[in-house]
Amino acid sequence: MKIISANWLVTCDENSSIIENGAIVFDDKIIEIDSLENIEKKYSNIEILKLQKNSVLMPGLINSHVHLEFSSNSTTLKYGNFMLWLNSVIKNRDELINKANKKLILSKLEKMKKTGTTTIGAISSYSFDMEACLETPINTVFFCEVIGSKGDMVDTLFADFKNRLDIAKKQKSKKFIPAVAIHSPYSVHPFLVRETLKLAREENLCVSSHFLESPEENLWLNENKGAFLDFFKNFLGQEKAVTTPMEFLNLFSNIKNLSFTHCVEASDIELEKIKTLGATINHCVTSNRILNNSKLDLLKLKDIPFSIGTDGLSSNNSLSMFDELRNALNIHFDKNIVDFSKTLLKSATVNASRALGLNKGVLGKDFDADMIAFSLPDEIEDMNDLAMQIILHTKFVDKTIIGGEFV
């Protein structure tokens, strides 16, 4: 049993509660949270780690959507347009993936930990990142991804996916959880989607999928037109999309933990379906900006929860969640900065935890003891500003606790 105290405990609970001069009692889970005064009286025989002045203790950040296999990219890929980017990914894919060895990916994960991330939703196309995910102290929900739209290849593609998933399942632990990713409606044959989701239901696996990331995807899926038509004709000899957005969404019924990533081109009807499915939207605001895609209209989401993901270094210049939160705060300039900061902290903690089917993201009794500690540069006069000042000023954390252990 351990006790840690800070000037500010940011709980990220339903009420965005904040405890001034609070303390937390924990082992692998949180046992009790209260004022420092009360904790000192109740646990007088246990030494308390008291953090320095202007200290903040909050749940560890959860990056709900990240691609680690492209972690070697910095200036290689084309930005500013989705199709330019996609073609550059295909052109440079082998070189970038070969450079992204275990050592490099582990270095990126270590930097993610230093910048406050304690859990990731890792989308893995080839499982080349699995060894690094097994070695890092960061909790990993490991999404084995299925991809392929050619009907005559579905058996081979499903067998490859199933093999990767079986290997991941053999490594399952408290901190490494196998899951399933459907790449997107334009790139996965409906047979593959159905079989993959059938397996996910049988084994109660978390599921995620990209959905309507770009105008080009939207036009192709709805009208079989645009830049995707040329792309599919050239690469696969296809002149018709394998599905429509609603046909795709209709396949996802009865998935317990479900998320869709991007969704920036989703219509009101499609968003209503996502809500009916009980899904979360993974919001990757920097990636959307870098590829010149639309900004997610948060008002249209109504009460669909959203989480925050960095996407990969294929479409971002940072895997830091604090960088991503700052970008979200600036890009959504129509939102009140003070109130929206509270929403963003919850999206990067409790919302992401629920999307991934975890018991994390809240400083509260019986939640996993995944916490980060850091100090603000000066005192806070108004508690209402705390979330905003955390996002604006925090770049690195001083202490990281995962599963009750300092790492």
**pLDDT < 70 positions in the chain:** none
DSSP assignment of 317-383 equals S---HHHHHHHHHHH-TTS-HHHHHHHHHHHTTHHHHHHTT-S-SS-STTSB--EEEEE-SS--S-G
| Residue 184: strand, helix, or coil | coil
Q: Quote the pLDDT of residue 304.
A: 98
Which CATH number does 61-355 carry?
3.20.20.140
Residues of the chain with CATH 3.20.20.140: 61-355
Q: Is the pTM of this model over 0.95?
A: yes
Smallest CA-to-CA distance from 9 within 53, 52, 40, 55 is with 55
Torsion over CA of 216, 120, 319 and 299, rounded to 10 degrees?
A: 50
User: Residue 177 belongs to what H/E stretch?
Assistant: strand 176-182
Of 145, 213, 216, 270, catalytic: 213
Dihedrals φ, ψ of 55, to 5°?
-80, 150
Dihedrals φ, ψ of 340, to 5°?
-70, -30
Q: Quote the pLDDT of residue 257.
A: 98
pLDDT digits (tens, 9 = 90+) for 222-255: 999 999 999 999 989 999 999 999 999 999 999 9
Q: Residue 274: is it exposed, middle or buried by C-beta count within 10 angstroms (0-12/13-18/19+)?
A: buried
Smallest CA-to-CA distance from 104 within 323, 319, 322, 325 is with 319
On whether the CB atoms of residues 252 and 279 are closer than 8 A, the answer is yes
* Domain 2-60+362-406 CATH (choose: 2.30.40.10, 1.10.599.10, 3.40.630.10, 1.20.1260.10): 2.30.40.10
Q: Quote the pLDDT of residue 26.
A: 98
Q: Residue 337: is it exposed, middle or buried by C-beta count within 10 angstroms (0-12/13-18/19+)?
A: middle
On whether the CB atoms of residues 108 and 313 are closer than 8 A, the answer is yes
Task: Supply the DSSP symbol for 55.
Answer: E
Q: Quote the pLDDT of residue 368.
A: 98
Q: Quote the pLDDT of residue 235.
A: 87
Give percent above pLDDT 90 in the chain. 99
Dihedrals φ, ψ of 335, to 5°?
-90, 145
Amino acid letter, 13: D
Residues of the chain with CATH 2.30.40.10: 2-60+362-406
pLDDT digits (tens, 9 = 90+) for 246-256: 999 999 999 99
Asked if 202 is an active-site residue, the reply is no
